[in-house]
C-alpha cells in the first residue's frame, strides 16, 4: 500500500508504504488500510498542526464508488466491503471518497500529469494486466456499472490465449508486462526472465526478443486503435511497468498505431508522468473534490 498526505495544490506532504498483509486474509487487509489511514491522520495532527480534512482511497477490482463499497478484488480476496463507512468511522467522521485504482491514477495523470490541459485523454497502464481510465473534462468516466475503461479485455486475437475473464484473445494476454515476461521467458529459455530483460535484449539486437516485443506492440496497437476509434482522445497516456522501457516501447508503438489509423485523428501518445505516485495523488484529488463539493465540509 502507498499512502500520502496531499496538499490542495497536489503537493505530497508526507508519504509512506506498508504491506497489505493479504497473506493473513481479506479482513486483515481491511484492518491494515484502516490502521494506515488512522496513522496518517495522527501524523498530520502531530507534524502539520491539523488532521486531514478528508480522505480518498483507491482499491483494485470492482468498486461501487457511489455507495462507497469495495465490491470484489480477486487478489485481495474481499467482497462487498463498506470501506467508505469503515474509514470514516476510523477517521472520526471525516468524509471519505472511494475510487478504483486505475481510474484514480488516471485522474491524477489527467489533472496534474501527462494529460494536464487535455479535454479528453485515455490512460492505459501496462502492468500485471491492462486497464484504462477515460478522462473527460477533468474527471474520469466510470461507466453505468463501474466497468468503463477495461481495455485489457478487448479481444485482439479471436480464438487466442484463454483469459481468466472467460474470453479468448484478450489484449492483456498479449501486451501486459506479465504477458511479455511469460513470452520472453519461454523464448529465451530463462524461466526467471521478465519484460525488463526482454526490453534490454531488444536494445541489444536479439532477434528473439525483437519478435516477442513486436508481437506485444502489434497487439497493443490493435487494442489502442479500437479504443481511440470509440473514444477519440486527444492524448493517449501509457504507464505501468512496460512503459519504463521508454522509446524502446514508444517508438514502435507510435508507428504501429499510425499504420492502423485511417479516418481517425491520431492522438499524442505519451508516457505517464507521475509513476507510482499517481494513485496517491489521485486519491488526494478525490478527497479535495469532496471538500470542494460539500460546503459544510469545506467550511471546516
Give tens-digit pLDDT for 30-61: 999 999 999 999 999 999 998 899 999 999 88
Domain count, the chain: 2
Residues 122 and 268 in one domain: yes
- pTM for the model: 0.88
Residue 33: count other Cβ atoms within 10 Å of its Cβ.
Answer: 24
| CA dihedral for 207, 213, 219, 223, sign (positive or negative) | negative
Consecutive H or E run containing 29: helix 26-43
pLDDT in the model for residue 73: 82
How buried is 189 (Cβ within 10 angstroms: 0-12 exposed, 13-18 middle, 19+ buried)? exposed
Averaged over 2-17, what is the pLDDT? 88
- Whether the pLDDT of residue 142 is over 70: the answer is yes
Residues 66 and 91 in one domain: yes
Q: What is the DSSP letter of 149?
A: T
What's the mean pLDDT when you consider all of the chain? 92
CATH number at residue 227: 3.30.420.40
Averaged over 67-83, what is the pLDDT? 89
Residue 111 in any domain: the answer is no
Range of the domain at 53: 2-104+277-298
pLDDT in the model for residue 47: 92
For 200-243, the three-class secondary structure string (H helix, E strand, C coil) is: HHHHCCCHHHHHHHHHHHHHHHHHHHHHHHHHCCCEEEEECHHH
Residues 127 and 249 in one domain: yes
Residues 178 and 283 in one domain: no
How buried is 221 (Cβ within 10 angstroms: 0-12 exposed, 13-18 middle, 19+ buried)? buried
Residue 208: count other Cβ atoms within 10 Å of its Cβ.
Answer: 16
Side-chain-side CA neighbours of 175 within 13 Å: the count stands at 31
Residues 36 and 145 in one domain: no
Contact between residue 214 and residue 225 where contact means Cβ atoms under 8 Å apart: no
Measured CA to CA, the distance from residue 96 to residue 275 in angstroms comes to 24
- pLDDT above 70 covers a percentage of the chain that reads 98
Residues 267 and 292 in one domain: no
pLDDT in the model for residue 57: 95
Give tens-digit pLDDT for 158-204: 999 999 889 999 999 999 999 999 999 999 999 999 999 999 999 99
- pLDDT above 90 covers a percentage of the chain that reads 78
Residues in the chain: 300
Residue 89 in any domain: the answer is yes
pLDDT band at 251 (very low <50, low <70, confident <90, very high): very high
pLDDT in the model for residue 138: 87
Residues 21 and 137 in one domain: no
**Is 81 in a helix, a strand, or coil?**
strand
- Angle, vertex CA 250, rays to CA 246 and CA 252, nearest 5: 130
Amino acid at each position: 500500500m502507498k499512502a500520502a498526505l496531499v496538499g490542495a495544490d497536489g503537493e505530497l506532504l508526507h508519504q509512506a508504504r506498508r504491506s497489505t498483509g493479504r497473506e493473513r486474509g481479506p479482513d486483515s487487509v481491511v484492518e491494515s488500510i484502516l490502521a494506515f489511514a488512522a496513522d496518517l491522520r495522527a501524523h498530520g495532527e502531530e507534524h502539520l498542526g491539523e488532521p486531514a480534512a478528508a480522505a480518498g482511497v483507491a482499491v483494485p477490482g470492482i468498486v461501487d464508488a457511489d455507495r462507497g463499497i469495495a465490491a470484489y478484488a480477486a487478489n485481495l480476496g474481499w467482497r462487498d466491503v463498506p470501506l467508505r463507512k469503515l474509514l470514516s468511522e476510523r477517521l472520526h467522521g471525516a468524509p471519505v471518497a472511494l475510487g478504483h485504482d486505475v481510474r484514480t491514477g488516471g485522474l491524477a495523470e489527467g489533472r496534474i500529469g501527462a494529460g494536464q490541459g487535455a479535454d479528453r485523454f485515455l490512460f492505459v497502464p501496462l502492468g500485471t494486466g491492462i486497464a484504462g481510465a477515460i478522462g473527460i473534462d477533468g474527471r474520469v468516466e466510470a461507466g453505468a456499472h463501474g466497468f468503463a475503461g477495461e481495455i485489457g479485455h478487448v479481444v485482439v486475437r479471436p480464438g487466442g490465449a484463454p483469459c481468466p475473464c472467460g474470453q479468448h484473445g484478450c489484449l492483456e494476454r498479449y501486451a501486459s508486462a506479465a504477458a511479455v515476461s511469460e513470452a520472453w521467458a519461454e523464448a529465451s529459455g530463462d524461466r526467471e526472465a521478465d519484460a525488463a530483460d526482454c526490453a534490454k535484449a531488444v536494445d541489444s539486437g536479439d532477434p528473439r526478443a525483437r519478435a516477442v516485443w513486436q508481437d506485444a506492440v502489434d497487439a497493443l496497437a490493435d487494442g489502442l486503435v479500437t479504443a481511440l476509434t470509440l473514444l477519440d482522445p486527444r492524448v493517449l497516456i501509457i504507464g505501468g511497468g512496460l512503459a519504463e522501457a521508454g522509446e524502446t516501447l514508444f517508438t514502435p508503438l507510435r508507428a504501429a498505431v499510425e499504420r492502423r489509423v485511417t479516418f481517425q485523428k491520431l492522438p499524442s501518445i505519451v508516457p505517464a508522468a507521475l509513476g507510482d505516485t499517481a494513485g496517491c495523488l489521485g486519491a488526494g484529488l478525490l478527497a479535495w473534490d469532496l471538500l470542494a463539493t460539500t460546503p459544510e465540509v469545506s467550511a471546516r
